[in-house]
Amino acid sequence: MELQDKEYTVDTSQLLVASEKFGSADIYGQNAKSILNKATGFIKAYDFTLNPYRGCQYGCTYCYAAAFSPNEKKRDEWGKWVLIKENAAEVVEKELMRWQKKNYDKLPSIYMSSVTDPYQPIESKTQLTRRLLEVMLEYRPILVIQTRSPMITRDIDLLQRFKNLRVNMSIPTGSELVRKDFEPQTPSIKARLNAMKKIKKEIHNFTGYLPKLSITITPLLPTLPEEQESFIRQLNFVDRVVIQDFHVSHKGSLVASTRDAAIDMKKKYEWWYSNQHENYQQFKGKLLEILSDVEVKEGKAGFTYE
């Protein structure tokens, strides 16, 4: 799977001094010339990707987006810096207005986000993603939000106004032990599941549009054998579950690839990775067996809106 980086509209070479700290991350701010970028790779079915930030405080060991860091130093420091595209809301309005004039009979399809998390911790301060949602509501896009953050529930009042929305919650493992090894800076599995349940429950109460809900187990990390069935059963309230193996590593090239940190972590879970293909197939089989009323998709096919 390949995901070329098209976001060269922010000049990160000029970012010599961080403007502030938020938690342990250096925070930079800069204006972007463009915010809607042509979708490529596994999400090329969309018209655009939308990334309010560059970099991500979650710093997951396996994150392919680290390959799109502005330089090698920033790649090595993945998770310790974030660039805020401060004028993103103003720019997206201009770009959507331009789209509407040229495509008055077609709704734009937008994937937010492909190389960052729109609800990472700094969002609690900037509310940049919320402002983007407010703007996008006027243009009625087909929108997919990809996150691993329970903070998304803050915006339920806006989410329920989107007629064509899918929320993808990333939960790569059903074991907290594994989560803490591969993505120690992320919210707990329980918090993520509760956030998705809250969206489903509260939007019903709002009597708004209920979004499509997906759990993306991508990449599929080990789940301890004794926890697999209970984890899978907890996913029965969504309409789709997506699984995918690790990305193929392409060292030295600007493509979606698994970070060395995650590859090293695999050694700790040799019981899973020594027979990776069979374990993947067995886990997939359990998903299909237990979640008979839930759509189970693999890889690229799982990231579509429909």
Give residues with Cβ within 8 angstroms of 142, minimum separation 6. 107, 108, 109, 110, 164, 305
In this predicted model, what pLDDT tens digit does every residue of 56-106 receive, in sequence order? 999 998 888 877 778 888 888 888 999 999 999 999 999 999 999 999 899
The whole-model pTM stands at: 0.90
Would you say residue 123 has pLDDT above 60? yes
Dihedral-angle region of residue 60 (phi above 0 means left; psi in -120 to 50 means alpha; beta otherwise) = beta
Q: Backbone phi, then psi, for 159, in 5-degree steps?
A: -55, -40
Q: If residue 298 lies in a helix (H) or strand (E), which one and from where to where?
A: strand 295-298
Exposure string for 40-65, b = 16+ CB within 10 A, e = fewer: ebbbeebbbbbbbbbbbbbbbbbbbb
Please give the average per-residue pLDDT across 41-61, as a whole number: 94
Q: What is the pLDDT of residue 18?
A: 53
Residue with tokens 């187990």: 217
pLDDT confidence band for 6 (50 / 70 / 90):
very low
Domain spans in the chain, listed from the N-terminal domain onward: 25-302
Average pLDDT over residues 24-32: 93
Q: In the CATH scheme, what is the code of domain 25-302?
A: 3.80.30.30
Average pLDDT score over the chain: 89
- Assign 12 a pLDDT band (cuts: 50, 70, 90): very low
Q: Reduce the DSSP state of residue 180 to 3 states and report it.
A: helix
Residue 250 has pLDDT above 50, yes or no: no
C-alpha–C-alpha distance, residues 153 and 147, integer Å: 11
Q: Does the pLDDT of residue 14 top 70, yes or no?
A: no
